[in-house]
Amino acid sequence: MLEQLLRRGDRIVIGQACGEPTTLIEALIEQGPAIGDLSVFIASSFSGLFTPAATKSFAVSSMGAIGALRALTAEHRLTVIPCHVGRIGSLIAAGTIGCDVAFIQVSAPNARGEHSYGLISDHVRTAVATARLVVAEVNDQVPFTYGMTLPASAIDFSVEVSRTPVEVPPARIGATDRAIAAHVAGFVEDGSVLQVGVGAVPDAVLQLLTDRRDLGVHSGLVGDALVDLVEAGVVTNARKSIDTGVSVCGALIGTRRLYAFADRNPALTMYPATYTHDAAVLARLERLVAINSAVEVDLTGQVNAEQSGDSYLGGTGGQADFVRAGARSPGGRSVIALPSTARRGTVSRITAALQGPVTTPRSDVDVVVTEFGAAELTGRSIPERARRLAAVAHPSFRDDLEREAIALARRGY
Protein backbone atom coordinates (compact mmCIF):
# COMPACT_ATOMS: atom_id res chain seq x y z
CA MET A 1 0.00 0.00 0.00
CA LEU A 2 2.52 2.64 1.12
CA GLU A 3 4.97 1.78 -1.62
CA GLN A 4 2.45 3.20 -4.10
CA LEU A 5 1.75 6.32 -2.01
CA LEU A 6 5.03 7.48 -0.54
CA ARG A 7 8.07 8.88 -2.28
CA ARG A 8 11.67 8.35 -1.39
CA GLY A 9 12.71 11.04 1.09
CA ASP A 10 9.20 11.83 2.31
CA ARG A 11 8.89 13.50 5.71
CA ILE A 12 5.95 12.07 7.66
CA VAL A 13 4.16 13.68 10.61
CA ILE A 14 2.24 11.09 12.64
CA GLY A 15 -0.58 11.62 15.13
CA GLN A 16 0.79 11.11 18.63
CA ALA A 17 -0.07 9.46 21.94
CA CYS A 18 -3.39 7.59 21.93
CA GLY A 19 -4.11 9.08 18.53
CA GLU A 20 -1.39 6.99 16.89
CA PRO A 21 -2.61 5.33 13.68
CA THR A 22 -1.15 1.95 14.57
CA THR A 23 -2.15 0.18 11.37
CA LEU A 24 -0.35 2.80 9.30
CA ILE A 25 2.70 2.69 11.58
CA GLU A 26 2.88 -1.08 11.23
CA ALA A 27 2.71 -0.72 7.45
CA LEU A 28 5.47 1.91 7.55
CA ILE A 29 7.73 -0.37 9.58
CA GLU A 30 7.14 -3.22 7.14
CA GLN A 31 7.29 -1.32 3.85
CA GLY A 32 9.59 1.59 4.72
CA PRO A 33 12.82 -0.18 3.73
CA ALA A 34 11.59 -0.60 0.15
CA ILE A 35 10.81 3.12 -0.14
CA GLY A 36 13.96 4.53 1.42
CA ASP A 37 15.20 7.72 3.05
CA LEU A 38 12.00 8.34 5.03
CA SER A 39 11.78 10.40 8.20
CA VAL A 40 9.11 10.61 10.88
CA PHE A 41 8.11 13.25 13.40
CA ILE A 42 5.94 12.05 16.29
CA ALA A 43 5.58 14.17 19.43
CA SER A 44 5.05 11.24 21.82
CA SER A 45 4.33 7.54 21.50
CA PHE A 46 2.70 4.97 23.76
CA SER A 47 2.05 2.24 21.20
CA GLY A 48 5.40 0.50 21.70
CA LEU A 49 5.78 0.20 17.93
CA PHE A 50 8.72 2.58 17.66
CA THR A 51 11.46 0.24 18.85
CA PRO A 52 15.11 0.57 17.81
CA ALA A 53 14.81 -2.53 15.65
CA ALA A 54 11.59 -1.39 13.96
CA THR A 55 12.93 2.06 13.05
CA LYS A 56 16.18 1.12 11.38
CA SER A 57 14.86 2.03 7.93
CA PHE A 58 13.72 5.60 8.78
CA ALA A 59 14.79 8.50 10.97
CA VAL A 60 12.65 9.50 13.95
CA SER A 61 12.40 12.93 15.56
CA SER A 62 10.25 14.22 18.39
CA MET A 63 9.79 17.05 20.86
CA GLY A 64 11.09 14.69 23.56
CA ALA A 65 11.58 11.16 24.82
CA ILE A 66 8.00 10.80 25.97
CA GLY A 67 6.40 7.41 26.53
CA ALA A 68 7.89 4.52 24.59
CA LEU A 69 10.21 6.86 22.67
CA ARG A 70 12.65 6.62 25.58
CA ALA A 71 13.77 3.28 24.18
CA LEU A 72 15.01 5.06 21.07
CA THR A 73 17.12 7.56 22.99
CA ALA A 74 19.07 4.77 24.67
CA GLU A 75 20.07 3.54 21.22
CA HIS A 76 20.67 7.04 19.83
CA ARG A 77 17.79 6.53 17.41
CA LEU A 78 15.78 9.64 18.32
CA THR A 79 16.48 13.23 17.31
CA VAL A 80 15.02 15.62 19.89
CA ILE A 81 13.75 19.00 18.73
CA PRO A 82 13.31 21.18 21.84
CA CYS A 83 10.06 23.05 21.32
CA HIS A 84 6.89 23.94 23.14
CA VAL A 85 3.76 21.97 22.25
CA GLY A 86 2.00 25.15 21.22
CA ARG A 87 4.65 25.89 18.59
CA ILE A 88 4.76 22.55 16.81
CA GLY A 89 1.93 23.50 14.48
CA SER A 90 3.64 26.71 13.40
CA LEU A 91 6.92 24.85 12.84
CA ILE A 92 5.08 22.38 10.60
CA ALA A 93 3.34 25.18 8.70
CA ALA A 94 6.67 26.97 8.17
CA GLY A 95 8.37 23.79 6.94
CA THR A 96 10.87 23.76 9.81
CA ILE A 97 9.40 20.41 10.78
CA GLY A 98 8.91 18.87 7.36
CA CYS A 99 5.51 17.43 6.52
CA ASP A 100 5.13 15.90 3.08
CA VAL A 101 2.76 13.25 4.42
CA ALA A 102 0.36 13.21 7.37
CA PHE A 103 -0.55 9.90 9.02
CA ILE A 104 -3.63 10.40 11.20
CA GLN A 105 -6.24 8.38 13.05
CA VAL A 106 -9.85 9.57 12.87
CA SER A 107 -13.28 8.39 13.91
CA ALA A 108 -15.91 6.90 11.64
CA PRO A 109 -17.83 9.68 9.86
CA ASN A 110 -21.00 11.28 11.17
CA ALA A 111 -24.19 11.62 9.15
CA ARG A 112 -22.67 14.52 7.18
CA GLY A 113 -19.62 12.47 6.23
CA GLU A 114 -17.31 14.35 8.57
CA HIS A 115 -14.67 12.63 10.68
CA SER A 116 -13.62 13.60 14.18
CA TYR A 117 -9.94 13.86 15.03
CA GLY A 118 -10.85 11.65 17.96
CA LEU A 119 -8.18 11.35 20.63
CA ILE A 120 -5.65 13.93 19.52
CA SER A 121 -6.20 17.44 18.27
CA ASP A 122 -2.98 19.32 18.94
CA HIS A 123 -1.03 19.86 15.69
CA VAL A 124 -2.54 17.17 13.45
CA ARG A 125 -4.85 19.70 11.82
CA THR A 126 -1.89 21.76 10.71
CA ALA A 127 -0.20 18.62 9.41
CA VAL A 128 -3.33 17.83 7.37
CA ALA A 129 -3.41 21.35 5.95
CA THR A 130 0.31 21.28 5.09
CA ALA A 131 0.88 17.78 3.72
CA ARG A 132 0.98 16.80 0.10
CA LEU A 133 -0.65 13.53 1.05
CA VAL A 134 -3.08 12.81 3.91
CA VAL A 135 -3.38 9.15 4.86
CA ALA A 136 -6.10 8.43 7.41
CA GLU A 137 -6.76 5.37 9.51
CA VAL A 138 -10.53 5.41 9.98
CA ASN A 139 -11.18 3.50 13.19
CA ASP A 140 -14.75 2.85 14.29
CA GLN A 141 -13.53 2.39 17.88
CA VAL A 142 -12.23 5.97 18.06
CA PRO A 143 -14.69 8.30 19.82
CA PHE A 144 -16.33 11.12 17.93
CA THR A 145 -15.17 14.13 19.92
CA TYR A 146 -16.33 17.68 19.43
CA GLY A 147 -14.14 20.39 17.98
CA MET A 148 -13.18 20.86 14.36
CA THR A 149 -14.08 18.01 12.05
CA LEU A 150 -12.30 16.64 9.00
CA PRO A 151 -14.27 16.36 5.74
CA ALA A 152 -13.74 13.19 3.77
CA SER A 153 -12.55 15.34 0.86
CA ALA A 154 -9.44 16.31 2.85
CA ILE A 155 -8.30 12.67 2.99
CA ASP A 156 -6.28 11.39 0.04
CA PHE A 157 -6.17 7.75 1.09
CA SER A 158 -7.95 5.96 3.92
CA VAL A 159 -7.78 2.59 5.60
CA GLU A 160 -10.80 1.39 7.54
CA VAL A 161 -10.05 -0.58 10.70
CA SER A 162 -11.74 -1.66 13.88
CA ARG A 163 -9.18 -1.97 16.64
CA THR A 164 -8.79 -0.69 20.16
CA PRO A 165 -6.90 2.61 20.11
CA VAL A 166 -3.67 2.88 22.06
CA GLU A 167 -4.43 2.87 25.78
CA VAL A 168 -2.44 4.25 28.71
CA PRO A 169 -3.75 2.68 31.93
CA PRO A 170 -3.67 4.69 35.16
CA ALA A 171 -0.34 4.53 36.96
CA ARG A 172 0.00 2.74 40.28
CA ILE A 173 -0.16 5.30 43.07
CA GLY A 174 2.31 4.84 45.92
CA ALA A 175 2.70 6.39 49.35
CA THR A 176 5.09 9.08 48.08
CA ASP A 177 2.67 10.05 45.34
CA ARG A 178 -0.14 10.43 47.87
CA ALA A 179 2.04 12.54 50.16
CA ILE A 180 2.93 14.87 47.29
CA ALA A 181 -0.71 15.03 46.21
CA ALA A 182 -1.85 16.03 49.69
CA HIS A 183 0.32 19.16 49.51
CA VAL A 184 -0.67 19.97 45.92
CA ALA A 185 -4.40 19.61 46.60
CA GLY A 186 -4.16 22.41 49.15
CA PHE A 187 -3.74 24.88 46.30
CA VAL A 188 -6.99 23.85 44.59
CA GLU A 189 -10.08 25.74 45.71
CA ASP A 190 -13.73 25.66 44.67
CA GLY A 191 -14.01 27.06 41.14
CA SER A 192 -10.36 26.43 40.24
CA VAL A 193 -9.57 25.58 36.62
CA LEU A 194 -7.17 22.65 36.40
CA GLN A 195 -4.30 21.87 34.09
CA VAL A 196 -2.82 18.47 34.89
CA GLY A 197 -0.91 15.71 33.20
CA VAL A 198 -1.35 11.98 33.52
CA GLY A 199 0.51 9.74 35.91
CA ALA A 200 0.56 8.73 39.54
CA VAL A 201 0.85 12.18 41.13
CA PRO A 202 -1.80 13.91 38.96
CA ASP A 203 -4.18 11.01 39.52
CA ALA A 204 -3.53 11.10 43.26
CA VAL A 205 -4.22 14.84 43.31
CA LEU A 206 -7.52 14.44 41.48
CA GLN A 207 -8.60 11.71 43.89
CA LEU A 208 -8.30 14.23 46.73
CA LEU A 209 -10.59 16.80 45.13
CA THR A 210 -13.93 15.06 45.56
CA ASP A 211 -15.03 17.64 48.15
CA ARG A 212 -14.41 20.61 45.81
CA ARG A 213 -17.16 22.29 43.84
CA ASP A 214 -17.42 23.59 40.30
CA LEU A 215 -13.91 22.80 39.18
CA GLY A 216 -13.05 23.45 35.56
CA VAL A 217 -10.59 21.89 33.14
CA HIS A 218 -8.37 23.58 30.55
CA SER A 219 -5.44 21.28 29.87
CA GLY A 220 -3.17 20.06 27.14
CA LEU A 221 -4.24 16.53 27.99
CA VAL A 222 -6.54 14.63 30.32
CA GLY A 223 -6.77 11.03 31.51
CA ASP A 224 -9.28 8.65 33.06
CA ALA A 225 -9.29 10.54 36.37
CA LEU A 226 -11.32 13.30 34.71
CA VAL A 227 -14.24 10.89 34.35
CA ASP A 228 -14.34 10.24 38.09
CA LEU A 229 -14.57 13.96 38.92
CA VAL A 230 -17.24 14.63 36.31
CA GLU A 231 -19.34 11.70 37.50
CA ALA A 232 -18.92 12.90 41.11
CA GLY A 233 -20.26 16.31 40.13
CA VAL A 234 -16.97 18.00 41.01
CA VAL A 235 -15.97 19.12 37.50
CA THR A 236 -18.77 21.25 36.08
CA ASN A 237 -16.80 24.10 34.45
CA ALA A 238 -19.62 26.32 35.67
CA ARG A 239 -17.34 29.10 36.92
CA LYS A 240 -14.94 29.24 33.99
CA SER A 241 -14.52 32.72 32.56
CA ILE A 242 -14.28 31.24 29.05
CA ASP A 243 -15.61 27.97 27.62
CA THR A 244 -18.12 27.89 30.44
CA GLY A 245 -19.58 24.44 31.02
CA VAL A 246 -17.00 22.70 28.85
CA SER A 247 -13.76 20.84 29.65
CA VAL A 248 -11.09 21.84 27.14
CA CYS A 249 -8.10 19.72 26.13
CA GLY A 250 -5.97 18.75 23.17
CA ALA A 251 -5.32 15.07 23.88
CA LEU A 252 -7.10 12.17 25.57
CA ILE A 253 -4.57 9.82 27.13
CA GLY A 254 -6.22 6.95 28.95
CA THR A 255 -8.33 3.86 28.42
CA ARG A 256 -11.62 2.87 26.84
CA ARG A 257 -13.40 4.28 29.89
CA LEU A 258 -12.21 7.77 28.98
CA TYR A 259 -12.90 7.20 25.30
CA ALA A 260 -16.50 6.12 25.96
CA PHE A 261 -16.98 9.18 28.16
CA ALA A 262 -15.66 11.47 25.42
CA ASP A 263 -17.75 10.03 22.59
CA ARG A 264 -20.24 12.68 21.43
CA ASN A 265 -20.00 14.43 24.79
CA PRO A 266 -20.86 18.13 24.43
CA ALA A 267 -19.23 18.85 27.81
CA LEU A 268 -15.79 18.07 26.32
CA THR A 269 -14.18 19.88 23.41
CA MET A 270 -10.89 19.08 21.71
CA TYR A 271 -8.86 22.08 20.57
CA PRO A 272 -5.51 22.44 18.80
CA ALA A 273 -2.48 23.44 20.85
CA THR A 274 -2.65 26.90 19.29
CA TYR A 275 -5.71 27.34 21.54
CA THR A 276 -5.04 25.16 24.58
CA HIS A 277 -1.54 26.59 25.07
CA ASP A 278 -2.01 30.09 23.67
CA ALA A 279 -0.88 32.83 26.04
CA ALA A 280 -3.78 35.12 25.16
CA VAL A 281 -6.33 32.36 25.80
CA LEU A 282 -4.69 31.31 29.07
CA ALA A 283 -4.61 34.93 30.22
CA ARG A 284 -8.43 34.93 30.17
CA LEU A 285 -8.68 32.07 32.66
CA GLU A 286 -9.18 32.99 36.28
CA ARG A 287 -8.20 30.66 39.14
CA LEU A 288 -6.03 28.52 36.84
CA VAL A 289 -4.07 25.93 38.84
CA ALA A 290 -1.33 24.39 36.72
CA ILE A 291 0.19 21.15 38.03
CA ASN A 292 3.34 19.89 36.31
CA SER A 293 6.25 17.57 37.03
CA ALA A 294 10.03 17.74 36.86
CA VAL A 295 13.15 15.62 36.78
CA GLU A 296 14.95 18.02 39.13
CA VAL A 297 14.78 21.53 40.55
CA ASP A 298 17.82 23.52 41.62
CA LEU A 299 18.05 25.71 44.70
CA THR A 300 17.21 28.88 42.76
CA GLY A 301 14.02 27.34 41.34
CA GLN A 302 15.15 26.38 37.85
CA VAL A 303 13.27 23.34 36.53
CA ASN A 304 14.61 20.52 34.38
CA ALA A 305 11.80 18.34 33.03
CA GLU A 306 13.77 16.70 30.24
CA GLN A 307 17.01 14.98 31.08
CA SER A 308 18.73 13.03 33.86
CA GLY A 309 22.44 12.82 33.26
CA ASP A 310 22.91 11.36 29.80
CA SER A 311 19.36 9.96 29.72
CA TYR A 312 16.71 11.99 27.94
CA LEU A 313 13.49 11.24 29.81
CA GLY A 314 10.90 13.86 28.93
CA GLY A 315 10.40 16.96 26.87
CA THR A 316 9.64 20.65 26.89
CA GLY A 317 5.97 19.95 26.31
CA GLY A 318 3.58 22.65 27.45
CA GLN A 319 5.04 23.13 30.90
CA ALA A 320 6.43 26.63 30.41
CA ASP A 321 3.17 27.90 28.93
CA PHE A 322 1.05 26.70 31.83
CA VAL A 323 3.57 27.48 34.58
CA ARG A 324 3.60 31.12 33.54
CA ALA A 325 -0.17 31.24 33.01
CA GLY A 326 -0.99 29.68 36.38
CA ALA A 327 1.32 32.03 38.25
CA ARG A 328 -0.25 35.05 36.56
CA SER A 329 -3.88 33.95 36.69
CA PRO A 330 -6.04 35.93 39.16
CA GLY A 331 -6.58 33.52 42.04
CA GLY A 332 -4.46 30.88 40.29
CA ARG A 333 -1.29 29.01 41.19
CA SER A 334 1.41 27.07 39.40
CA VAL A 335 2.81 23.94 41.04
CA ILE A 336 5.84 21.84 40.11
CA ALA A 337 5.42 18.49 41.86
CA LEU A 338 8.14 15.86 42.14
CA PRO A 339 9.43 13.18 44.52
CA SER A 340 12.36 14.36 46.60
CA THR A 341 14.66 11.56 45.40
CA ALA A 342 15.36 9.29 42.45
CA ARG A 343 17.17 5.99 41.93
CA ARG A 344 15.75 4.39 45.07
CA GLY A 345 16.63 7.30 47.28
CA THR A 346 20.26 7.64 46.24
CA VAL A 347 19.89 10.91 44.30
CA SER A 348 18.26 14.13 45.42
CA ARG A 349 15.93 15.77 42.94
CA ILE A 350 16.34 19.08 44.73
CA THR A 351 19.86 19.96 43.66
CA ALA A 352 22.47 22.65 44.09
CA ALA A 353 22.78 22.84 40.29
CA LEU A 354 20.83 21.22 37.49
CA GLN A 355 22.39 18.25 35.72
CA GLY A 356 20.21 18.82 32.66
CA PRO A 357 18.67 21.69 30.69
CA VAL A 358 16.47 24.48 32.02
CA THR A 359 12.96 23.65 30.86
CA THR A 360 11.27 26.37 32.90
CA PRO A 361 13.16 29.43 34.20
CA ARG A 362 13.17 30.25 37.88
CA SER A 363 11.49 33.60 37.24
CA ASP A 364 8.30 31.77 36.23
CA VAL A 365 8.21 29.12 38.97
CA ASP A 366 5.60 29.67 41.70
CA VAL A 367 5.48 26.61 43.99
CA VAL A 368 7.61 23.46 44.21
CA VAL A 369 6.11 20.49 46.05
CA THR A 370 7.68 17.25 47.26
CA GLU A 371 6.36 14.70 49.74
CA PHE A 372 7.93 16.85 52.47
CA GLY A 373 6.01 20.04 51.78
CA ALA A 374 5.51 23.03 49.52
CA ALA A 375 8.12 25.70 48.82
CA GLU A 376 6.45 28.91 47.69
CA LEU A 377 8.96 30.85 45.59
CA THR A 378 7.14 33.74 43.94
CA GLY A 379 8.67 37.06 44.96
CA ARG A 380 11.38 35.42 47.05
CA SER A 381 15.09 36.19 46.85
CA ILE A 382 17.54 33.54 45.74
CA PRO A 383 18.79 32.83 49.29
CA GLU A 384 15.21 32.55 50.54
CA ARG A 385 14.29 30.26 47.65
CA ALA A 386 17.27 28.07 48.44
CA ARG A 387 16.28 27.81 52.11
CA ARG A 388 12.71 26.92 51.24
CA LEU A 389 13.69 24.32 48.66
CA ALA A 390 16.24 22.72 50.99
CA ALA A 391 13.47 22.42 53.57
CA VAL A 392 11.36 20.21 51.24
CA ALA A 393 14.28 18.04 50.15
CA HIS A 394 14.72 14.54 51.51
CA PRO A 395 16.27 14.61 55.02
CA SER A 396 19.22 12.54 53.79
CA PHE A 397 20.29 15.44 51.55
CA ARG A 398 18.94 18.38 53.49
CA ASP A 399 22.09 19.27 55.44
CA ASP A 400 24.22 19.52 52.31
CA LEU A 401 21.58 21.57 50.54
CA GLU A 402 21.21 23.90 53.49
CA ARG A 403 24.97 24.49 53.40
CA GLU A 404 24.65 25.30 49.68
CA ALA A 405 21.82 27.71 50.54
CA ILE A 406 24.04 29.47 53.09
CA ALA A 407 26.80 29.71 50.47
CA LEU A 408 24.36 31.36 48.04
CA ALA A 409 23.44 33.91 50.70
CA ARG A 410 27.11 34.69 51.41
CA ARG A 411 27.69 35.36 47.70
CA GLY A 412 25.18 38.18 48.01
CA TYR A 413 22.44 36.80 45.80
- Cβ atoms of 264 and 242 within 8 Å: the answer is no
Going by C-alpha positions, the residue among 58, 2, 9, 11 that lies closest to residue 31 is 2
The pLDDT assigned to 413 comes to 67
82 domain-assigned: yes
- For residues 148 and 226, state if they share a domain: no
For residues 263 and 265, give the distance between their C-alpha atoms in angstroms, rounded to a whole number: 5
- For residues 96 and 31, state if they share a domain: yes
- Cβ atoms of 123 and 17 within 8 Å: the answer is no
| Residue at which a domain ends, from 161, 192, 208 | 161
CA 207 to chain centre: 20
Distances (CA, A) of 329 to 87, 200, 361: 22, 26, 18
169 domain-assigned: no
CB contact set of 211 (below 8 Å; sequence gap of 6+): none
- For residues 261 and 330, state if they share a domain: yes
Report the 10 Å Cβ neighbour count for 313.
17
* Tens-digit pLDDT profile for residues 396-413: 999 999 998 888 878 866
Mean pLDDT computed over 349-378? 96
- For residues 120 and 263, state if they share a domain: no
240 domain-assigned: yes
| Residue at which a domain ends, from 116, 136, 161 | 161
Per the structure, how many domains does the chain have?
2
Checking DSSP bridges between strand 193-195 and strand 149-151, what pairing results, if any?
unpaired
170 domain-assigned: no
* Tens-digit pLDDT profile for residues 282-321: 999 999 999 999 999 999 999 999 987 767 778 888 899 9
- For residues 77 and 190, state if they share a domain: no
* Tens-digit pLDDT profile for residues 214-262: 999 999 999 999 999 999 999 999 999 999 999 999 999 999 999 999 9
- 374 exposed, middle or buried (CB, 10 Å; 0-12, 13-18, 19+)? buried
- Cβ atoms of 245 and 217 within 8 Å: the answer is no
339 domain-assigned: yes
Check which CATH number belongs to the domain holding 296 and give it: 3.40.1080.20
The pLDDT assigned to 307 comes to 82
- Cβ atoms of 95 and 13 within 8 Å: the answer is no
Range of the domain at 144: 2-161
| Residue at which a domain ends, from 109, 138, 161 | 161
Chain length of the chain: 413
- For residues 150 and 179, state if they share a domain: no
- For residues 129 and 217, state if they share a domain: no
Q: 372-375 long-range contacts, Cβ below 8 Å, gap at least 24?
A: 372/179, 372/340, 373/183, 374/183, 374/184, 374/186, 374/187, 374/335
For residues 163 and 399, give the distance between their C-alpha atoms in angstroms, rounded to a whole number: 54
- For residues 146 and 278, state if they share a domain: no
For residues 289 and 313, give the distance between their C-alpha atoms in angstroms, rounded to a whole number: 25
- For residues 282 and 348, state if they share a domain: yes
- 14 exposed, middle or buried (CB, 10 Å; 0-12, 13-18, 19+)? buried
Provide the percentage of residues in the chain whose pLDDT is more than 70.
Answer: 99
- For residues 215 and 323, state if they share a domain: yes
252 domain-assigned: yes
Check which CATH number belongs to the domain holding 57 and give it: 3.40.1080.10
For residues 254 and 222, give the distance between their C-alpha atoms in angstroms, rounded to a whole number: 8
Angle at 229 between CA 227 and CA 233, to 5 degrees: 115
The pLDDT assigned to 411 comes to 81
87 domain-assigned: yes
Which residues is 161 bridged to in the sheet? 139
- The model carries a pTM of 0.95
